Structure 1
């Protein structure tokens, strides 16, 4: 406005006045001492975040104390309704503004002096709920201590009903500032899986956020590449004949290459060196190659991963053929699952024959099938019916000589299936305070994994014992008050069984329902000797009267007179 006076302000939308329009505005004469641009404002800015129920405090300072105008501070909620805000002049020209948000949402702060808006007004403040970081659980391999570079790891974020899962975020940085991508997956059960692959060894900083609010920080120490996890099939220290083909299979697991990846260097007996060509499929962690024995003598093999030496072996090449030239490959010689066919392959191409015999010994008879491919290769398929340790013996040739590695010891187990675990004796979760209780955990129909149980910190921990193979008895004595609920976590292979704790409700001890009285209703403290005394045992509220037993103990006192 150019001059003071009364103005009419019309605000229209689509040609129609909005509610309250036209507005009457009184413009005051200019105050040369009032310089709005010089106002000092601290503690507030646009798009700031505040917490529900906590004070939001900011200050306004008038640069010229000659201006005796008090700033006008108004707060509006997201419905544009005014909410209370306290403004106190702490000293001349300085004002403290205090606001306590009681509801979540967006608030608008309108600041002005003498009818002139302070630059930046209105200020937008978003109020969010208070999150208690102490209630959030973070656990899993991904937070240490055994984390190695170039290996995918993960951890679980369990907010335990604190906040909304989708509003959580996690960031990871190397101590040199390099960020590491953290992928979050919603498990659908109010928990998150956070996965990441650190590319460098050293100290990392992990932070957990709720929206833009930092909840917690932790240090994660990443160790150098763990090359011990690389699995190499082939290149054993062995003796072969000329023409022998050595198939090489290298599985790097979840390692990620940052340099040259997998390399196999061959040094022949004549001193020549070369690299074995390796192939791997798209997005595959398995590298395959082959080597053919051509020179008699000792051949050295060196396997590298990103220039780290992983494995060395030596193969002796000779012309004589025998059973030691047979090779076997396949998962069926390492492990098996009850009721599911397992197989392996016997390679007799370089052994000088194609006759073989096999025997399997174990806890039960296994269904076996041998397929002869008529090219020196045989595929063996067997199905174990019960878990346990099986001995597989393989014989070659007319003399039935055992091939290298025979007999093979194979551990057969059930498939990992937590749903097959049976809990009995649970009594619908009702226990009595101070009375020992127990129940059974039957894990005989799933893979063998550690079974453990635990109460929250502060409660007496339960005792678990294996009474039979894979059958466990859990015993504990509730030390809580009647009506209190004890959450018991049953862990199978380190994971919470059924995704939730078992809840036990503590009931009152029946002994508290038993009372001793006489005819007058009062328990006598003394009786006379040789006279009949009757006591009443009242147990109306007790469930099992037959459990009540009475026992009278007599104390004798000796008096000595001198």
Structure 2
């Protein structure tokens, strides 16, 4: 600000001088130095003055931190004009610990360091060469995993329990302990035996589980909360390491203490898929040693009973593991040098991935030592995969020890050697194989990682999806070439990431589509073409495979002697139209398969009818012959048997409003149709009967109906027409058409109506050729009538007997035995009718052979 700052000059002899001044504010000062009135070279000089008392140091890592975590704190220069910041961290053993500083001055920066031992660490912060206010700081490093709890065994009600908590090796901190049950807290007394060593005593008063919760610096110690099973007084107690777990194929034991009680123990040990053999040995009266050998990994059930009562804590659930089944993905040999040492690089993070899927229920634990002291290492376990991560701090020899469920892995320790090495070029790693893009559920897929041109290194492969992750097995093929194998079980999109020496390979991550396995049971087939069809016509049906996953659809159709032509029209959306062209009539076997498996309903039975043949349709009956209106019987029969599949159409033209056409059949499968049109006026009637659009023999039929018998006789003799003849059809004639289909489509509901008839219980009828037939009906009650018999000459195989006037219950009865139809074994059902004037009239008609 232009003000002078007081200073003084001290002579040090030999033409050397010391200049002293005391700045009053943090700012840039200008130093003008002259000798004999002349500025010395470089004068004036600039001197930046900062105020370190304004610097604020904060963060949890400045006072206390766990050995398992990185200690972090921040440095905020505030308004101080500083250009340099140095942080020095010294461990209890006197070694310097590397510190990583992120950020740029004069803004706020972050300092972090990874402690390697328990105890107070000294942190010295210098800004522009001067210690900030409060520096040096002391950070207490603790290790909660070093807290040990011993002597906590099963007990009984009202029996004091004493156990020991040893935190002497865990560093400085606060130890907290609480004993509870599901109902309330339990009073516990803590007695200090020495620094960090405590005895804890409490007395359970209920035969229920007790929970011991222990924290150190607000972090749960290993195993907390610990469960203590408390049994009833008078019951045996059980204790021993064999209740917690152990290694497969290794004898495990525990003791049953029933001293002072009558009886003896009964013990069973069940594994996931086996029963372990148990040996119970009596050590003294009431005290027994139980030994069992598990032969598989998994969670076991140990049931201990005394006098047929479960002891406290029974059943127990020990975890049986097999440390030998913990497998380094890729194998140790692929990562070792010629001397069998793990290749490491100083200050470069090392990752080792392990597959623990076959090792049983447990967790991986590790310890890495360098020059006789432990270095930081972390285990990340995700499902069946665990990853050991550590960073070698320098060159030299290392030892790696691994435990699974606190049991050492075989061939431990593994030795490593760190030295500067040329880093492999990850950009020269190539990937190839179908497993890089697509895969199918349940099928093994693979791809090749070629690092032969990349130099030293090894791959690390992960495959993650939204619903699940996929485990990948790596095998070294030699020469830097690796084979990756995986078997997906859940469909969806996955990201495949390949790392080479902790560097991502070019092109990764890759998207891999895992397709669903084809499921034939989810294919849907629909359409009439699955049931019946006709020779000469395409038989169509629809097939939907959208829910069945990708797969191959195949269709075959075989007839009695010939194979039908099948054509699939792909709509490109998972749906298909199936067209079948049968070469013959008869039953066909239609096979629809998806990926070689039959779809639901396949093989289908396809009934194929012959082509329609109108010449085989017969039309007969009084309704197609001339007659007198008063006594006219308008019924006639259309017999389509033998005519193949087709549609029957009946169309009648006559005086307008003078008739009503109705059609009826006995059953859905009946090929014989009874038609009736009940004329009410005389005149000429024209009946067209067509089968699949073509006239049947005799069609169209022309029928003349007269008022009197004389008119009919004269017409038959020639020269007479019924009244109304000659008038324009548009004025006096109308037409009604009915249709029904055989063979391809189901019938609709139809009905018929009778006309007024003459009296007679026994009624005879003569056909135009004077063939006589007689039918008899017995009246069983007022409203019930039973057909008895119908006699006719040989050669007339079918007879029809029906009551009139017509009512809903008066459908005709069909006789199928001739000449004496009463001899039929088929009993005909009776009619339930409402008689008119106490009488019921019946019609009998017989088929005529041509």
Same fold, TM-score > 0.5, yes or no: no
TM-score range, shorter chain: 0.3 to 0.5
| TM-score, normalization by structure 1 | 0.36
Which structure has the greater CA radius of gyration? 2
If asked which structure has higher relative contact order (CA below 8 Å, sep 6+), I would say 1
Provide TM-score, normalisation by structure 2: 0.26
